[in-house]
Structure 1
Amino acid sequence: MTPTGSSSDGRRGKAALFVVLCGWAGVAPHWLEPPRNLLPATSLTLLLGAYVVRTVLGQLWRRSRPRSSADCAIPETLVGEGSWPGPWPAVDVVVAARDEQAVIGRLVERVSRLRYRHGVVRLWVVDDGSEDRTPEVLKALEASTPMLQVLRRPRHAGGGKSGALNAVLGRLEGRWMLVLDADAGLQEDLLERLIPQAEQGGWSAMQLRKAVVNAGCNLLTRAQAMEMALDSVVQEGRLASGGVAELRGNGQLLRREAITRAGGFNEETVTDDLDLSFRLLLAGEPVGILWDPPVEEEAVLTLPALWRQRQRWAEGGLQRFFDYWPGLLSKRLNSSQKLDLTSYFLLQYVLPMVSVVDLLTALITRTPPTVWPLSLVVLGLSGAAIVAGCRRPSDGPALPAMNPLAAALGIAYLMHWFVVIPWVTLRMALLPKRLVWAKTQHLGGESGSEGEGDDLVAGTDPLADPSTQAS
């Protein structure tokens, strides 16, 4: 499925217009005399600062107060086996795998251990043209694992991960499909806790919190664990405030009929999860977020690997706004959802672009920067959300221990988006897009090096609590 207006030329034109508008917004305040040149940033600080406070701190307050039957958020009390009154629906666990010999066997074992005593679970692995030993590993597992079914696609079948998921979608029979990455870690009672909450909440899709399993490997993996906690806190707050929750790929539970109604997975995007989030939103299919149980995954170990991964995330995230903006402005969304998406777009994509232009203009004209009030407030509130998220009780791998130095690391780490977003936006505006599956390398362990001689290698995290160091 290809959304209207998603051609390469159409996206390049929209990206170019976006660059021009952000450039103007970054330069224009320098034409004003101080302190009037701070008025645009100050106004946005009040608007977006209030949004962040409402989203993050408001969610923390809602969790701390006594709960009542009127609360509409996803219940935090876990639904135990036997308390679900309805029939337990069949679940298809789906994995798109390419060159995953290091982890695919372990994933099959983990899925086979899932408890789902009253329902049926099937595991589908789409071998998307693997050139390592993945096909041999899966062939051996098929003989010993009755629940496993393998679908093989040629290496250049097209569509990336979305193409692999579309290839298996028509073969599924379960009411729900749980999409996992090949390195996913699962608690054995995940389905018995997850399915009742999805059914009782009336959700069309639910995203599990992503928990970093190798957070103690080095400073970079530790910072990514903080970022995942921040993301879940913000997503919960957005949803509880009437806004939008989004899918994150690994650990997304999807109602199969809802995906079929939405037209399947978009094969003209580099981030199938982000694209699907918007298509479900526009189709009126609600998406929920769940803190526990989490899905475990490996964080990348090196700066070059992070750079490659974040470029893809940034491009897919911005691309969906370019593709679906007419629907996002239409009556299909209510005012709370539009406010949420507008604020998110300004914070995630506009702020980094304008900040870079503002800094360059300040250096050229030898005038003070003008966007710093907004940047400081956003980074400060993001740091507060990191601390709140990492101090929250949670299942799965231990979250990073918080102290002033750790919080400073988290804030400093988030500044990489001020480099990634402008770079990716310029590239989208100037260069034609080639759709490739730029997968993240999975190593199959909680520590280790990617073996590429990159700048930041695995080692001991000096900020980590010794009791939570990865072995």
Structure 2
Amino acid sequence: MDITLFSAVYAIHLVSVILVALYGVHRLVLLRLWVGLRRREQPPAAELPDSLPLVTVQLPLYNEEAVASRLLAAVGELSWPKACLEIQVLDDSTDGTRSAVDEGVARLQAAGFDACVLRRSTRDGFKAGALAEGLEKARGSFVAIFDADFIPPTDFLLQTMPRFSSSEVGMVQARWGFLNDRDSLVTGVQALTLSSHFDIEHGTRYASGRFFNFNGTAGVWRKEAIVGAGGWTADTLTEDLDLSYRAQMVGWRLVYHGACVAPSELPPTLTDFIAQQERWTKGSVQTAVKTLPTLLRSPLAWRVKVEASFHLLGGLGWLAGALATVTLWPALMVHGTRASALAWIPGVAALSGSCGAIVFYYTVYALMERRSRHLLRYVPMLPLVCIGVAPFLALSAMEGLFTRHGVFHRTPKYGELKTGGQRRKGLADGATFGRALVAFALVAVTAPPLLFVLDTLAFYAVPLAMAVPAGYMLTGAILARESGVGRGASE
């Protein structure tokens, strides 16, 4: 290959790892802000008014047979006067969920609740369409939303509703808790990233006056804010993120209440996790394309615009990460050429980005969770998992740049199904096995650089050269197992 082509690939690699490093630096900036904000004395929460408002609880469901009954039972335990509570089950299901919903709603009605089931003939707009249709019929001035895999605590409304004491507050988001974070490496890594998302990202963005977002569940909206921001729309796959930014851009203030925790179920398999992240990645980039131009032209403070750009374009980090890994081998070939004086930059940049991210996530468990086993087990594995899933999410980021809408693929919920065999019954498909093959192929592509750096003593690239094939090997092994490869017939 001509050295000019090598240099071009090296340039792509260099830009990619610098973007990854920039992501790590951004993590550290958020962490520094968070540390400073923690020292501030928090104002006391406002009290509930004497006359409690009517709250509509919306439960959007689609084929959630394993968890629907559990959710309905939890909503029936909410500490809020029945006369001030309306329960809407927005059920688009086509399976046994319908029976579970009908039985659960009948029990709520028998207990004196104003509960109903709203069903549509088509899934137009997916979750956003269901929420919009339910909102048209909602009688409450406030709307609480829970996905099927959540178990709202009994005092959820007692904790969140006082935060609406100001008429400027349009939404209150609670923190997610995790029912199965200790089950596996996959759920442990997810809990690590989501904990930092809530504890540091949400907490810092909210407390510092930057934009943050509703997470689609475990939150309460003022109905007036939804309508005033243009309502639920389905032109992105992240209708929650889209509405959050539109609401803040027209002047509504969103509140994060991390002390209120709603337990939830994490996707227990890597297949489910990748599918969920593909939707979130594509949707966030779609939201960036839709809202960033208007936001950047607005008179908002520069710190708001900069943070919004990092937030909404974060999905492009997967694209940068994927490019950095697949261009590593040809990029290293510049070692010993005229470009070798710059050859150390990618290795240092990649290490800087990884270290910044690790410090960011380490802080969550070191200062917040205080669980040493999680620190030792999950923090070191985080870069490997991120490397392994990057190529799949990079494609979603690219789709988000050039396409609107898309199919909303639900994340499967398993409820009380504890065994791996039960969870994998619906996963042994071609897509999972195909992803495993892609990961193993990338191992073959990215393993030779390690031999090259050892042979040429290019030690600046050793960490990256070791981590990349290890990440793909880990991902391929997990996906192969989930697809059924190597399982006995008895399972």
Q: Does 1:452 align with 2:452?
A: no
Q: Out of 158, 169, 181, which is 2:147 matched to?
A: 181
Give the aligned partner of residue 243 of structure 2.
Answer: 276
Give the aligned partner of residue 376 of structure 2.
Answer: 404
What per-residue deviation string (whole Å, max 9, x for no partner) do you get for residues 273-318 of structure 1? Answer: 1211221122222222221211221111212211211111110011
Question: Offset at 1:439?
Answer: 0.6
Q: What is the RMSD of the two structures over their aligned residues, measured on CA atoms? A: 3.3
Give the aligned partner of residue 228 of structure 2.
Answer: 261
Q: Indicate if the aligned counterparts of 1:49 and 1:377 stay in contact, CA closer than 8 A.
A: yes
Q: 1:87 to 1:411 in 2, by over 3 A?
A: farther
* Deviates further, 257-266 or 379-388: 379-388
* Deviates further, 174-183 or 369-378: 369-378
* Deviates further, 89-98 or 134-143: 134-143
Q: Out of 48, 63, 71, which is 1:84 matched to?
A: 48
Give the aligned partner of residue 275 of structure 2.
Answer: 308
Give the aligned partner of residue 58 of structure 2.
Answer: 94
Quote the sequence identity (%).
22
Give the aligned partner of residue 203 of structure 1.
Answer: 169
Question: Offset at 1:259?
Answer: 0.3
SS of equivalent to 1:422: helix
Q: Does 1:56 align with 2:44?
A: no
Residue 435 of structure 1 aligns to which amino acid in structure 2? Answer: G
Give the aligned partner of residue 441 of structure 1.
Answer: 412
- In structure 2, distance between residues paired with 1:97 and 1:31: 47
SS of equivalent to 1:169: helix
- Unaligned 5+ segments in structure 2 are 1-5, 335-342, 429-477, 483-491
Matches within 5 A, 1:193-272: 193-200=159-166, 202-232=168-198, 233-272=200-239
Q: Does 1:323 align with 2:296?
A: no
Q: Indicate if the aligned counterparts of 2:88 and 2:117 stay in contact, CA closer than 8 A.
A: yes
Q: 1:105 to 1:269 in 2, by over 3 A?
A: same
- In structure 1, distance between residues paired with 2:407 and 2:203: 32
Q: 1:384 to 1:198 in 2, by over 3 A?
A: farther
- Unaligned 5+ segments in structure 1 are 1-25, 459-471
Q: Indicate if the aligned counterparts of 1:84 and 1:196 stay in contact, CA closer than 8 A.
A: yes
Question: Offset at 1:193?
Answer: 1.0
SS of equivalent to 1:289: strand
- In structure 2, distance between residues paired with 1:93 and 1:152: 16
Question: Offset at 1:341?
Answer: 1.7
Q: Out of 402, 413, 416, which is 2:385 matched to?
A: 413
Q: Indicate if the aligned counterparts of 2:56 and 2:139 stay in contact, CA closer than 8 A.
A: yes
Q: Out of 188, 192, 198, which is 2:158 matched to?
A: 192
Q: Indicate if the aligned counterparts of 1:27 and 1:358 stay in contact, CA closer than 8 A.
A: no
Query: Does 1 or 2 have the higher relative contact order (CA < 8 Å, sep 6+)?
Result: 1
- The number of residue pairs the alignment matches comes to 410
- In structure 2, distance between residues paired with 1:338 and 1:50: 17
Q: 1:142 to 1:51 in 2, by over 3 A?
A: closer
What per-residue deviation string (whole Å, max 9, x for no partner) do you get for residues 313-353 of structure 1? Answer: 1100111111123212112532121111233356x234432
Q: Indicate if the aligned counterparts of 2:24 and 2:354 stay in contact, CA closer than 8 A.
A: no
**TM value normalised by structure 1:** 0.77
SS of equivalent to 1:291: strand
Residue 261 of structure 1 aligns to which amino acid in structure 2? Answer: G
SS of equivalent to 1:260: helix
- In structure 1, distance between residues paired with 2:243 and 2:8: 36
**TM value normalised by structure 2:** 0.74
Q: Does 1:113 align with 2:87?
A: no
What per-residue deviation string (whole Å, max 9, x for no partner) do you get for residues 224-262 of structure 1? Answer: 111110111222112223321112112121110010111
Q: Out of 118, 130, 138, which is 1:151 matched to?
A: 118
Q: Indicate if the aligned counterparts of 2:173 and 2:257 stay in contact, CA closer than 8 A.
A: yes
Matches within 5 A, 1:284-433: 284-345=251-312, 348-365=314-331, 366-367=333-334, 368=343, 370-392=345-367, 401-416=373-388, 418-428=390-400
Matches within 5 A, 1:120-159: 120-128=84-92, 130-146=93-109, 147=113, 148-154=115-121, 156-159=122-125
Q: Indicate if the aligned counterparts of 2:48 and 2:161 stay in contact, CA closer than 8 A.
A: no
SS of equivalent to 1:290: strand
SS of equivalent to 1:204: strand
- In structure 1, distance between residues paired with 2:404 and 2:7: 28
- In structure 1, distance between residues paired with 2:261 and 2:327: 44
Q: Indicate if the aligned counterparts of 1:270 and 1:437 stay in contact, CA closer than 8 A.
A: yes
Greater per-residue helix proportion: 2
* Deviates further, 349-358 or 329-338: 349-358
What per-residue deviation string (whole Å, max 9, x for no partner) do you get for residues 137-176 of structure 1? Answer: 222333331322111111x341110010111111112121
Q: 1:358 to 1:133 in 2, by over 3 A?
A: closer
- In structure 2, distance between residues paired with 1:316 and 1:110: 30
What per-residue deviation string (whole Å, max 9, x for no partner) do you get for residues 194-232 of structure 1? Answer: 110233584211222122211121111111111110111
